[in-house]
Amino acid sequence: MTSIDFLTFLEEGFCARDIVEQKINESTSSDDKDAFYVADLGDVLKKHLRWARTLPRVTPFYAVKCNDSRPVVETLATLGAGFDCASKTEIQLVQSLGVEPSRIIYANPCKQVSQIKYASAHGVQMMTFDSEVELMKVARSHDNAKLVLRIATDDSKAVCRLSVKFGATLKSSRLLLERAKELGLDIIGVSFHVGSGCTDPQTYAQAIADARYVFDMGAELGYSMTLLDIGGGFPGSDDSKLKFEEITAVINPALDKYFPADCGVRIIAEPGRFYVASAYTLAVNIIAKKVNMKEQSGSDDPPGSLAPLHSHQLTSHVFSRV
Ligand SMILES: *Cc1c(COP(=O)(O)O)cnc(C)c1O
């Protein structure tokens, strides 16, 4: 990658692909045919408007790990989004853009002690946890943490499963709530992540119901929790198996059922791919190509034999979403 163009296309009918084609035409006559990509910040803006229209009760906290380029983060900061940071570096980036600490959740359930201290020194209070060890680390490294208990979900139908490594079971949630009480820690809410590339919207409904169960369990132990974080997993482009609106059609009624508007619970989410997947278009230069004869019918070649094309340098570009 040699060049990055950040452009906002708000004009009707003008899109990132036009810029890509223009650049390809410019490079055909030169020797510089390196791969490049174009970022369309207007696409990020459109996603934000779509989010606000479709999930009006849910404040997005963009998951910085999905794309930490400054223009993307800056655009979302200007639009008023919050941020899900997974590390000190991400907190530094977001704060360098003037985002106040209340708009940041340190949503990594396994944190380095030095980085918990960094968050504490810089006013970042909201952070997730899913184990007793993490509670003990936070108790000795942060004066004012507002903890969010991350629960596991059934992510068996997601492309990228996250509950394999993160999230407490409902059974261990009770123990963690009790342990936090003993340590004098404040638990303000519950979070989950259904896994990236979620293909079954019912996973969200089940996780929201489970979160309600943990809220009630917390109430029995004297916590009055005020934050529900429904995580990420939302598709970033319209060619995904499950459409964003098909998911929100399940989420909205589940929220209204388990966390009605007047229940005093603030709802946030941590969309990552949703905001950035379709904003980037990659153009690559195909420098060689091999054809697998096995897949061509009527071939006399033995199965699996490869036939290299004789033109070793093809100059055509292909488009791909990154
Ligand atoms: C990766 C990640 C996200 C973003 O996930 P998407 O599926 O890209 O929306 C949100 N929260 C946490 C804790 C993550 O690890």
Tell me the average pLDDT across 90-107.
98
End-to-end CA distance of the chain: 13
Q: Percentage of the chain with pLDDT > 90?
A: 68
Q: Is pLDDT at 45 greater than 90 in this prediction?
A: yes
The radius of gyration of the chain's CA atoms, rounded to the nearest angstrom, is 23
pTM (two decimals):
0.86
Nearest atom, ligand 1, residue 195 CA: 7
| Cα–Cα distance for residue pair 230/265, rounded to 1 Å | 12
Ligand 1 atom nearest to 160, measured from its CA: 7
Q: Side-chain half-sphere of 11: how many Cα atoms within 13 Å?
A: 6
Q: Among candidates 150, 175, 173, 147, which has minimal Cα distance to 163?
A: 150
> In the prediction, which pLDDT does 239 show?
87
Least confident residue range of 2-6, 179-183, 285-289: 2-6
pLDDT of residue 216: 97
Q: How close is the Cα of 178 to the center of ligand 1, in Å?
A: 28
Predicted local confidence at residue 321, as pLDDT: 42
- The predicted pLDDT at position 295 comes to 62
Q: Whose CA is nearest to atom 4 of ligand 1?
A: 272
Tens of pLDDT, residues 101-136: 999 999 999 999 999 999 999 999 999 999 999 999
The string of DSSP codes covering 50-65 is HHHHH-TTEEEEEEGG
Asked whether the predicted pLDDT for residue 315 surpasses 50, the reply is: no
| Pocket (CB within 6 angstroms of ligand 1) | 63, 65-66, 84, 107, 193, 196, 231-234, 270-274
What distance in angstroms lies between residue 275's CA and the mean position of ligand 1's atoms? 11
Pocket test for ligand 1, best of 67, 130, 193 (most atoms within 8 A of CB): 193
d(CA 182, CA 173): 14
pLDDT at residue 311 is higher than 50? no
Residues taking part in catalysis: 65, 193, 270
Q: Is the pLDDT of residue 7 over 80?
A: no
DSSP conformational letter for 145: -
pLDDT number for residue 319: 47
DSSP letters of 42-110?
HHHHHHHHHHHHH-TTEEEEEEGGG---HHHHHHHHHTT-EEEE-SHHHHHHHHHTT--GGGEEE--SS
pLDDT confidence bin for 11, thresholds 50/70/90:
low
Residue 307 clears pLDDT 50, i.e. is over it: no
- Comparing 45-54, 197-206, 240-249, 296-305, the range with the smallest average pLDDT is 296-305
Residues listed for the chain? 322
Atom of ligand 1 nearest to the CA of 128: 13
Q: What is the pLDDT of residue 4?
A: 44
Mean pLDDT estimate for the chain? 88
- What pLDDT is stored for residue 296 in this prediction? 57
| pLDDT at residue 74, rounded to an integer | 97
Which of 59, 67, 84 for a ligand 1 pocket mutation test, highest count of atoms within 8 Å of Cβ?
A: 84
Which stretch of DSSP H or E encloses residue 206? helix 202-220
Q: How far is the CA of 135 from the centre of ligand 1 (A)?
A: 22
User: Highest-confidence range of 150-154, 198-202, 254-258, 284-288, by mean pLDDT?
Assistant: 254-258
CA separation (Å) from 47 to 94, 108, 112, 312?
20, 24, 33, 40
Identify the pLDDT of residue 298.
53
